[in-house]
Amino acid sequence: MAKVVAISFGRKMSNTDVMLKEVLKKCEEAGHEIQFVRPDDLNIGPCTGCCACVAGVMSGRSNGECVMHKDDDFHIVEDAFYSADALIIGSPVYETSPSGTFKTFCDRIGPSHDLAFLTEAKKERLARDGENALLPDERAFKPRVGCLVAVGGARTENWTIMTIPVMYECMMSTGVDVIDTHVYYGAMNIQHVLGVPEQMERMDKMADHIIAALSAKDEEGRTMWRGETEGACPVCHQSMFRVHEGSDRVECAICGIDGTVGLVDGKIHYSFSPEQQARSRMKYAGKLEHRNEIADGAMTQKKVENLAELKKPYLHIGE
Ligand SMILES: Cc1cc2nc3c(=O)[nH]c(=O)nc-3n(C[C@H](O)[C@H](O)[C@H](O)COP(=O)(O)O)c2cc1C
Give the domain-ending residue among 192, 210, 228.
228
Strand runs (DSSP E) across 125-274, as ranges?
Answer: 145-152, 177-185, 241-243, 249-252, 258-264, 267-271
- Please tell me whether residues 74 and 211 are part of one structural domain: yes
pLDDT score recorded for residue 188: 80
Residue 97: C-alpha distances to residues 29, 80, 105, 158, 183 (Å): 32, 24, 14, 11, 12
Q: Are residues 268 and 215 part of one domain?
A: no
List, in order, residues 6 or more apart from 44 with CB less than 8 Å away: 72, 73, 74, 77, 101, 104, 105, 108
The reported pTM is: 0.96
For residue 286, give the amino acid letter: G
Ligand 1 atom closest to Cα of residue 18 = 26
Q: What is the mean pLDDT of residues 129-151?
A: 94
- What confidence tier does 299 reach under pLDDT thresholds 50, 70, 90? low
Helices and strands in the chain: count of H runs, count of E runs: 12, 9
pLDDT reported for residue 38: 98
Q: Is pLDDT larger for residue 60 or for residue 80? A: 80
Residue 295: what pLDDT? Answer: 86
Q: Which residue, 314, 235, 306, is CA-closest to 276?
A: 235
Question: Considering the chain, what percentage of its residues have pLDDT values greater than 90?
Answer: 87
Quote the pLDDT of residue 80: 98
CB atoms within 10 A of CB 21: 18
Output the CA 88–ligand 1 centroid distance in Å.
19
Asked whether the beta carbons of 278 and 285 are under 8 A apart, the reply is: yes
Q: Using CA positions, which residue lies closest to atom 31 of ligand 1?
A: 94
Name beta bridge partners: 169. Answer: none
User: Average pLDDT of 57-65?
Assistant: 84
Q: What's the pLDDT band for 298 if we cut at 50, 70, 90? A: low
Name residues whose C-beta falls within 8 Å of residue 160's C-beta, 6 or more positions apart in sequence: 93, 96, 150, 152, 154, 183, 185
Distance 45 CA to ligand 1 centre (A): 22
299-305 contacts: CB < 8 A, separation 24 or more? none
Query: What total of structural domains would you count in the chain?
Result: 2
Distance (Å, whole) CA 22 – CA 44 = 26
What is the β-pairing status of strands 258-264 and 249-252? antiparallel
Q: Which of 167, 202, 228 is the last residue in one of the domains?
A: 228
Residue-level pLDDT at 62: 85
- Which of 7, 12, 18, 93 maximizes ligand 1 atoms within 8 Å of its Cβ, making it the mutation to test the pocket? 93
Nearest Cα residue to atom 28 of ligand 1? 94
Q: How far is the CA of 96 from the centre of ligand 1 (A)?
A: 8
Instruction: Report the length, in residues, of the chain.
Output: 319
Query: Ligand 1 atom 4: the closest Cα is on which residue?
Result: 94
Given the CA of residue 189, which atom of ligand 1 is nearest to it? 19
Burial pattern 192-223, b for ≥16 Cβ within 10 A else e, equals ebeebeebeebbeebbbbbbebbeeeeeeebb
Residue 201 shares a structural domain with residue 243: no
Domain shared by 54 and 32, yes or no = yes
On average, the pLDDT of the chain sits at 95
Tell me the C-alpha distance between 314 and 255, whole Å. 38
List ligand 1's pocket residues with C-beta within 6 A: 10-11, 14-16, 92-96, 151-154, 159-160, 185, 187, 189
What average pLDDT score do residues 292-305 get? 82
At 75-98, the pLDDT tens digits run: 999 999 999 999 999 999 999 999
Closest CA to 16 of 167, 193, 198: 193
DSSP state of 46: P
Last residue of a domain, one of 228, 244, 277: 228
Ligand 1 centroid–CA 64 distance in Å is 35
**Same domain as 218, residue 297:** no
The ligand 1 atom at the shortest distance from the C-alpha of residue 187 is 21
Q: How far is the CA of 152 from the centre of ligand 1 (A)?
A: 5
Do 106 and 211 share a structural domain? yes
| C-alpha distances in Å from residue 250, one per residue of 161, 270, 282 | 18, 8, 17
**pLDDT at 39 exceeding the cut of 80:** yes
Span 93-108, mean pLDDT? 97
Q: How far is the CA of 102 from the centre of ligand 1 (A)?
A: 13
pLDDT-derived band at 236 (thresholds 50, 70, 90) equals: very high
Please check whether residues 207 and 221 belong to one and the same domain. yes
Least confident piece of the model among 90-99, 239-248, 297-306: 297-306
Q: Give percent of the chain with pLDDT exceeding 70.
A: 99
Q: Whose CA is nearest to atom 18 of ligand 1?
A: 153
Q: Clarify whether residues 255 and 168 are in a common domain.
A: no
Q: Are residues 203 and 113 in the same domain?
A: yes
Same domain, 278 and 304: yes
Would you state the pLDDT for residue 63? Answer: 82
pLDDT digits (tens, 9 = 90+) for 165-214: 999 999 999 999 999 999 999 998 677 999 999 999 999 999 999 999 99
Q: Which domain holds residue 302?
A: 232-319
Question: How many angstroms separate the alpha carbon of residue 209 from the centre of ligand 1?
Answer: 26
For residue 7, report the distance from its CA to the centre of ligand 1, in Å.
17
Best residue among 94, 103, 149, 161 to mutate for probing ligand 1's pocket (most ligand atoms within 8 Å of CB) is 94
Task: Tell me how far the alpha carbon of residue 12 lies from the centroid of ligand 1, in angstroms.
Answer: 14
Same domain, yes or no, for 239 and 202?
no
Looking at residue 99, which CATH number applies to its domain? 3.40.50.360
Domain check: are 255 and 181 in the same one?
no
